[in-house]
Structure formats: structure tokens, C-alpha cells
Structure 1
Amino acid sequence: MRTGTTARSIAFTGAALLALTACGGETEEGGDTGAEGGGEKQVNIYGTDGNMGNALGEDFSEPGALAGMKGTLPLTDLSSDFRDRLLEIDPDLQDYNYAGETYDAVVISALAAQMAGTNDANVFKAYVNGVTFGGDKCEDFTSCLEIVNSGGNPDYDGISGPLAFAEPGEPAVASYGIQQFGEDNTIDDEATEFVFAGDEENAASDEGPAPAPAGTTGEPLVIGYLLPETGNLAFLGPPEIAAFNLAINDINAAGGVLGAPVRAEGGDSGDTSTDTATQTVDRLLQAGVNVIVGAASSGVSQTVIDTITGAGVMQISPANTSDIFTTYNDNGLYFRTAPPDLLQGQALADLILADGNNTVGILALNDPYGTGLAESTRENLIAGGLAEGDIETIIYDPQAANFDSEVQQMVEMNPDAIVVIGFEESSKIIQGLNAQGIGPQR
């Protein structure tokens, strides 16, 4: 296991995108290949977890429109067995983004409830962090439950990595995937690299109260999901929902929690432009859930977190990355298996710097995820040696009719690299960049 900040010595696939040769560009050594001394430099395009998925490529019909676009996302090197089991749940899966994190969110919640001997989230919240560090190692619910039933403390290292929650209830170290699009505008899985950011040494130290007696029974644990079936993150919904259902199946196959099968509920989170999440949360609370897994969007979670935690229900997100939740007043009831943007900012900045970029433009949507990750990336680029003047950040309205102004500002800046931090509207931005000759298409 590699811990510590992401090593810049990691050999990323393709240190930089290929330089132009057809219409006069610079070679990777900086030599001018253009006729009559002219030249057009290659601008490297980067994405993040909000747009680094095969769903983005569905908006591009011309081959090579996304070729070489790279990006970072919380991602573990998922085993073929886990992927196959997800496909049994949903044979139409195209991506596996946040599937491991969703599966782990369900398992951690179930283990904490069993250790507390109750389905009351106000009680079992004290056990959640301790499930992820300090005890006996285990990698699935069955083996962890055996440790609990023998009076021990499980250290669950699940599908999404070492976990090791810090005091705020979030991973202290996380695995990231470095992915890129191929000529067919889909993710080239063979080019994916995995790196770690953060440090397991920063995990909390309090493992929680003494566990309840082995085999304690009680009222059934009810876990609901609040995940995107519609909206600008709908492409994340299928792998997350499949992983949620797989975890429920595995837990119940092992005997359930508190002597009874876990009952599952679920509903659509929509996005911040609708009140879908609010309606779903109201329905889930009326159904008596003890835990809500979700939302995927940090902006959506911000709209419902007070309602969920105020009702004494635990919220655990598999995909929220905004740093605002690290210090949020949540009554100790908010957790996440996705790492905060503080860590993704390290991984993304390291990738950009390793590719030799000296000037960077950042286009980020105006929500907690976009602005938070943009600032974290900027800070890490500066820490890595870029001057403040070498970085320009533009915050945009994701509901805007077009992004011509933002694209034009990138044209005028003429940076070595452009980072697009957004959701489904990213396709319009990248189409605009391509039209101006500074996108991934060449």
C-alpha cells in the first residue's frame, strides 16, 4: 500500500498529449514543426470525477473528439469478481464510478449498527469511524461480523481501499484513478493508472465504545439510498445503485444485522435544479430509514443534510467530495466513503505538473464541488511550483445557455492545460474548446 501524497515520480501513461504535426505544432522537445516558422501548441485537457466517464463520450459523434483527455477520480482497482457481481445486478453497466465506495458505505453502516446493538443512528454513529481502523483486518461483511461476534473490533478494508476514517468521518487516504479517453471517445481502461493521496497516519484514534454483546438482536436496520436516477449526474446512478443492492444482498446472505435482514429503500436524488432530493428524503424518512446512502452530488447533499441529520438519521455519501462537509455541523451523523477534494486536488495537480504544464486554466461549475476542487487544485499547483499568475480560474453557471464567454477567455489565456470541473454540461464546454482549436480534438 502506498500512502503519503501522490508521488510525482509515478510514470503516468503518456507524460503529455501528442503534439500537433498536421497543421504545424511543437514537438515534445519544443522544436518547431510548422511551416514558415508558424506553430500551434497542444493544449492538454483534464477532467475530474464529475465528467470522466463513458457517458461524456456519448455526446460526441466524431472519432477522436475526446482522444487523450485525462482526468482524476476516486477509483480503486476493482477486481474482476466484483465487476462481474455488479453486472449480475445490472448487466447494462458501462462505468463503475463510486461502486466500491457505495458498497463500502452500506457495509460500514451495517457493522456499526451490529457493534452498537441497535438500529438507532444516534447510538451507532459512535462506532462508524472505528470500523475502518485499529482492529483486526477484514475485507468483507462476513469476516468482519465474525470479529464483532467474537468481541473484537473490525478494521474493514473494503472494496474502495484502506478507508481509515479521520475524525470528521471521511477517508484519510484514498485511491485515485488516472484515466484518459481513447480515439473512440470512451475511457481507455488499459491506460488507467492508480495512485494514492493522503496518509493513513491521519486516521482517527478513538475506536468507539465497547461493543454490545455478541449476537445482540433488535429492530431491523433500514438503509435507504438517495442516488441519481435523473439529472446531470445520472450516469453515476447505475453503478452506485447496483453496488448498494449487491451490498444489501451480501449482508443478508450472511445473516443480516441484529438478527434480521436489512430492509432496503431507495429513491432518486435528481440534481440541484429540482426538489427531487427533498421529496425523496421525505419519503425515506417516512419509511423509517436509519441510514441514507447518498447523495452523489455535494450540492444536493447540502440541500438535504440538515433534514436527514436533524431527524436523527445517519447520512453516508459514496461520492460527496466538497471540503465543506469536513467541518459541517451535522450532529455527528454525516460520513462519507469518498475522499474530500483536498485529496483529489493533490492527485490532479500532481498529474498536471507531471505532464510538464506551466500555465493552467481552470473552468469550474459554481457549486460546492466545483469551487472547492478548483481551489484545492490551484493551491496544490502553487505548492508544486507554479506562480499564482500562471493559473486562471473561471467559475461558470452550469445552467447557462452557452459557455462561449468562458471558452473565449481560455483562448485569450492560451494556457498549456485546461481543467474542466463539471458535470454533463462539460460536453458543451469541450465542444466549444474543440471549435476554437484548444480542445482534445486535433
Structure 2
Amino acid sequence: MRTRTYARSIAVTSAALVALTACGGGDDGGGSDSGGDASGSGEKQVNIYGTDGNMGSTLGEDFEEQGALAGMKGTLPLTELAGDFTDRLLQVDPNLGNTFNYAGETYDAIVITALAAQLAGTNDANVFKAYVNGTTTGGEKCDTFQACIDIVNAGGNPDYDGISGPLAFVDAGEPAAASFGIQQFGDDNAIDDSLTEFVLAGDEANATTDEGPAPAAPGTTGEQLVVGTLLPLTGDLAFLGPPEVAGARLAVQEINAAGGVLGQDVRLEEGDSGDATTDTATQTVDRLLQAGVNAIVGAASSTVSLNVIDRITAAGVMQISPANTSDQFTTYNDNGLYFRTAPPDVLQARALADLLAADGNNTVGILARNDSYGNGLAENTRENLLAGGLSEDQVVNVIYDPNAANFDAEVQQMVELNPDGIVVIGFNESSRIIQGLNENGIGPQR
């Protein structure tokens, strides 16, 4: 397992450093060159980047022309998943193909919840919340629910190193360090998995030293643990729904195969989060609370979670998200009932800034959606770039309304800025933005 690792400069292979040129600018290798076009066409090369909200092959489905996204790179919380885990996911949902985004984080969220409930000897989230952080640090290492529950049943304290990484929660209930993937689109407008690289950001030394109260007696039984899911089956992030749902189902299956929690099988109640433009999440939360859930896994969208977090925690129910990254949750007044297995944007911003620096971008334009996710990641990335030596006028953030009729004005700002690199921090509206960049000769189109 990886321990005490830090964000580092990214040494990307030459194949992954394919230059992104303006429309019709040719296809040549090498990193960004703010001084001109190595092919001699006279057109400046522009590097295009995405983040976890749009770095998926589903983005390419909006582009018919070959090479419309070719070479676009980006960061997202991503762990190099073991083959046996993906095989197990495919047994749950054979239609996943090779899309496993946040499946590990969802799986881990349920395992952590189950371990905390068993350690507390109760399904009451107001009690077992005190054990959550301690399941991820300070005890005896284990990497499966079976191995961890064996430690619990022997009277010990498990330190769960999960599918999604070492976890090692800080006091705020989120990972102290995390793995990020650097991914790139190929000529077919899909992610080229052969070019994916993994980097780490953060420091496990920052993990909590509070392992929680003394545990209940080994083998304590009690009322059934009921876990609800609030995951995107519809809306902007629906492409994340299938792997997250599969991760949840697999976790419950394997926990129950290992004997369950408090002497009973864990019960799973599933629900749709929709997106921030609907009240789907509120309706789902109300239904889950009526069904008697003790914990809710979700939402994927930070904005959706901010819309329902008070409703969940006020009911004395724990919320644990596999994909929320907004920094707002780190200090949110949640009565100690909110956790996440996804890393905060302060960590992704480090990985993204390192990628931008490694590609030689001396000027950067950031197009970010106006919500807690977009604003937080954009500002943290900007701060990291400034700390790395760029000046105020070399990093420009442009915040846009994701529900706008068009993004012509924002694209024009990028044309006028003429940066070495452009970062698009968005969801499904990213395709229209990138199409606009392509039409103006500063997109990834080759």
C-alpha cells in the first residue's frame, strides 16, 4: 500500500505529451510550446484539459468528427484498480465495459460504514459516526471487509486500505492523500487507457490520530444496518451512475457473504440523485429516510449534496459521498455526520497544476462552471499555479453559467487571452464549450 506520499511533478511519456494544435494545425509530438508551432504552420499550439466532471469517454459521444478531442488531457480521482475487482464489478453489471469511475470509492464508503457500525455495536449513526475515521488509520492493516471484520471480531482496530487507496481520513472525515489519474483522449474521441498514468497528492501523515471510542464487545449483534444510495441515474453525471451503483451492490454482497453486520445482512435501498436542476435528490432522500436508512451513500455532485446534506444529517443519518470534491464540505457544520471517500479539490488542484506545469504552459485560461465544484477547483488550481511561479496575469479564471443558452462570450475570452493551455471544469455542457473552442481554432481538434 502507498504510504506518506506527496504530489509530485508528473513525468509523462512522450506519447502522452502529444501537442494539441489549433484546427488544421497538424499532428506533431512534444509538449506545449508557447513560442509557436513546431510544425511550421505558424499556428500556436493550445493544450486542452478537463477534470473529473468531463474526463470520460461519454464526452466523446457528442463529437462525430474523428480527432475532435484527440490529445485532450485531464485529471480525476482514480486508482489503478486490480483486475479481480473489475471482474467482480462486471459480474454485478456486465454492461459497464471499461468504465469504473468512482466504483472503488463507492465500495469503500459502504465497507467503512459497515465496519464503523460493527465497532460501535449499533446501527445508530449518531453513535457509529465516532468510529468512521478510525477504521481508516492507526490500527491493524487490512484490505478486504473479511480481513477487517476478523480484526474487529478479535477485539482489534482495523486500518482499512481500500479499493480506492489508503484512505487515511483526517479529522474532517476525508482522505489525507489520494490517487489521481492523468487521462487522455485518442483519435476516436474516447479515453486511451494505454496512456493513463497515476500520481498521488497529499500526505498520510496528516491523518487523524483519534481512532474513536473503545469498541463494543466482539460479535455484538443488533438491529439491521440499512444503507441507502443517492447516485446519479439521471442528470449531468448520469455516466457515473452505473459504476457507482455496481460498487455499492458489490460491497453489500461481499459484506453479507462475510457474515454481515451486527449479526444481520446489510440492506441496500437504492435511489437517484438527479442533478442540481431538479428536486429528484430531495424526493429520494425523503423516501430513503422513510425507509429507515442509517447511512446514505452519495451524492456524486457536490452541489446536489449541499442541497440535501442538512436534510440528511438533521435526521441523524450519516452521509458519505464517493465523489464529492468541493472544499466546502471540509468545514461544513454537519454534526459529524458527513464523510467522503473522494479527495477534496485542494488535492486534485495540486495534481492538475503539476500537469499544467509539466506540459510547459506559461499562460493558462480556466473555464469553470459556477457552482461549488467549479469555483473551488478553479480557484485552488489558480492558487497552485501562482505558487508555482506564474503571475496574476498568466492565470485567468472565467466562471460561466452551466445553464446558459450558449458559451460564445466565454469562448471569445479564451480566444482573446490566447493562452498556452485551457482547462474546462464542467459536466455535460463541456462538449458545447469544446465545440466552440474547436470552431475558433483553439480546441483539441486535430
Q: Report TM bin, short chain.
A: over 0.9
C-alpha root-mean-square deviation of aligned residues, in Å? Answer: 1.7
Specify whether residues 435 and 210 from structure 1 end up closer, same or farther in structure 2 by C-alpha distance, changes over 3 A only.
Answer: same
How far did residue 9 of structure 1 move? 5.0
Query: Which residue is 2:440 aligned to?
Result: 436
Q: Is the contact between residue 65 and residue 183 of structure 1 (CA under 8 Å) also seen in structure 2?
A: yes
Specify whether residues 18 and 146 from structure 1 end up closer, same or farther in structure 2 by C-alpha distance, changes over 3 A only.
Answer: same
Q: Is the contact between residue 107 and residue 251 of structure 1 (CA under 8 Å) also seen in structure 2?
A: yes
- Distance in 1, matches of 2:264 and 2:391, equals 58
Query: Which residue is 1:329 aligned to?
Result: 333
Which of 212, 219, 230 is matched with 1:215 structurally? 219
Specify whether residues 309 and 176 from structure 1 end up closer, same or farther in structure 2 by C-alpha distance, changes over 3 A only.
Answer: same
Query: Which residue is 1:202 aligned to?
Result: 206
Matched, 1:5 2:9: no
SS of alignment partner, residue 198 of structure 2: strand
Matched, 1:92 2:95: yes
- Distance in 1, matches of 2:38 and 2:218, equals 72
- Distance in 1, matches of 2:104 and 2:29, equals 40
Matched, 1:60 2:63: yes
How far did residue 63 of structure 1 move? 1.0
How far did residue 11 of structure 1 move? 3.2
Specify whether residues 15 and 188 from structure 1 end up closer, same or farther in structure 2 by C-alpha distance, changes over 3 A only.
Answer: closer
Question: Counterpart amino acid of 1:265?
Answer: E
Query: Which residue is 1:135 aligned to?
Result: 139
How many residues were matched structurally?
A: 440
How far did residue 15 of structure 1 move? 6.2
How far did residue 388 of structure 1 move? 1.2
Deviations 1:176-234 (A, max 9, x none): 00000011111110100001000000000000011100100000000000000000000
Question: Counterpart amino acid of 1:65?
Answer: A
- Distance in 2, matches of 1:392 and 1:349, equals 14
How far did residue 426 of structure 1 move? 0.4
How far did residue 120 of structure 1 move? 0.2
Which of 128, 153, 161 is matched with 2:157 structurally? 153
Matched, 1:413 2:414: no
- Distance in 2, matches of 1:430 and 1:32, equals 21
Which of 377, 381, 393 is matched with 2:385 structurally? 381
- Distance in 2, matches of 1:69 and 1:32, equals 17
How far did residue 384 of structure 1 move? 1.1
Query: Which residue is 1:354 aligned to?
Result: 358
- Distance in 2, matches of 1:226 and 1:177, equals 25
Specify whether residues 389 and 261 from structure 1 end up closer, same or farther in structure 2 by C-alpha distance, changes over 3 A only.
Answer: same
Query: Which residue is 1:368 aligned to?
Result: 372
- Distance in 2, matches of 1:180 and 1:256, equals 40
Query: Which residue is 1:178 aligned to?
Result: 182
- Distance in 2, matches of 1:305 and 1:13, equals 44
User: Which runs of structure 2 are paired with 1:32-431 in the superposition (5 Å)?
Assistant: 39-94=42-97, 95-431=99-435
How far did residue 92 of structure 1 move? 1.0
- Distance in 2, matches of 1:341 and 1:24, equals 35
Q: Is the contact between residue 36 and residue 42 of structure 2 (CA under 8 Å) also seen in structure 1?
A: no
Percent of residue pairs bearing the same amino acid type: 72
- Distance in 2, matches of 1:359 and 1:2, equals 34
Specify whether residues 188 and 200 from structure 1 end up closer, same or farther in structure 2 by C-alpha distance, changes over 3 A only.
Answer: same
- Distance in 1, matches of 2:294 and 2:38, equals 63
How far did residue 385 of structure 1 move? 1.2
Specify whether residues 104 and 318 from structure 1 end up closer, same or farther in structure 2 by C-alpha distance, changes over 3 A only.
Answer: same
Specify whether residues 9 and 64 from structure 1 end up closer, same or farther in structure 2 by C-alpha distance, changes over 3 A only.
Answer: closer
How far did residue 238 of structure 1 move? 0.4
- Distance in 2, matches of 1:32 and 1:344, equals 30
Q: Is the contact between residue 323 and residue 340 of structure 1 (CA under 8 Å) also seen in structure 2?
A: yes
Specify whether residues 7 and 394 from structure 1 end up closer, same or farther in structure 2 by C-alpha distance, changes over 3 A only.
Answer: same
SS of alignment partner, residue 46 of structure 1: strand
Q: Is the contact between residue 362 and residue 419 of structure 1 (CA under 8 Å) also seen in structure 2?
A: yes
Q: Is the contact between residue 19 and residue 28 of structure 2 (CA under 8 Å) also seen in structure 1?
A: no
Question: Counterpart amino acid of 1:61?
Answer: E
Deviations 1:253-290 (A, max 9, x none): 00100000001101100000000000000000000000
Question: Counterpart amino acid of 2:221?
Answer: T
SS of alignment partner, residue 96 of structure 2: coil
Q: Is the contact between residue 164 and residue 171 of structure 1 (CA under 8 Å) also seen in structure 2?
A: yes
Q: Is the contact between residue 5 and residue 346 of structure 1 (CA under 8 Å) also seen in structure 2?
A: no
How far did residue 14 of structure 1 move? 4.3
How far did residue 54 of structure 1 move? 1.1
Give the TM-score, by structure 1 length. Answer: 0.97
Question: Counterpart amino acid of 1:137?
Answer: K
Q: Is the contact between residue 48 and residue 72 of structure 2 (CA under 8 Å) also seen in structure 1?
A: yes
How far did residue 16 of structure 1 move? 3.6
How far did residue 5 of structure 1 move? 3.2
- Distance in 2, matches of 1:104 and 1:118, equals 20
- Distance in 1, matches of 2:108 and 2:345, equals 19
Q: Is the contact between residue 16 and residue 356 of structure 1 (CA under 8 Å) also seen in structure 2?
A: no
Higher RCO (C-alpha under 8 Å, 6+ residues apart) = 2
- Distance in 2, matches of 1:418 and 1:348, equals 12
The ranges of structure 1 where at least 4 consecutive aligned residues each deviate by more than 2 angstroms after the TM superposition are 1-5, 9-35
- Distance in 2, matches of 1:223 and 1:196, equals 30
Specify whether residues 289 and 361 from structure 1 end up closer, same or farther in structure 2 by C-alpha distance, changes over 3 A only.
Answer: same
Q: Is the contact between residue 3 and residue 166 of structure 2 (CA under 8 Å) also seen in structure 1?
A: no
Specify whether residues 13 and 106 from structure 1 end up closer, same or farther in structure 2 by C-alpha distance, changes over 3 A only.
Answer: farther
- Distance in 1, matches of 2:365 and 2:36, equals 24
- Distance in 2, matches of 1:8 and 1:312, equals 43
Specify whether residues 19 and 276 from structure 1 end up closer, same or farther in structure 2 by C-alpha distance, changes over 3 A only.
Answer: closer
Structure 1 residue ranges without an equivalent (≥5): none
SS of alignment partner, residue 267 of structure 1: coil
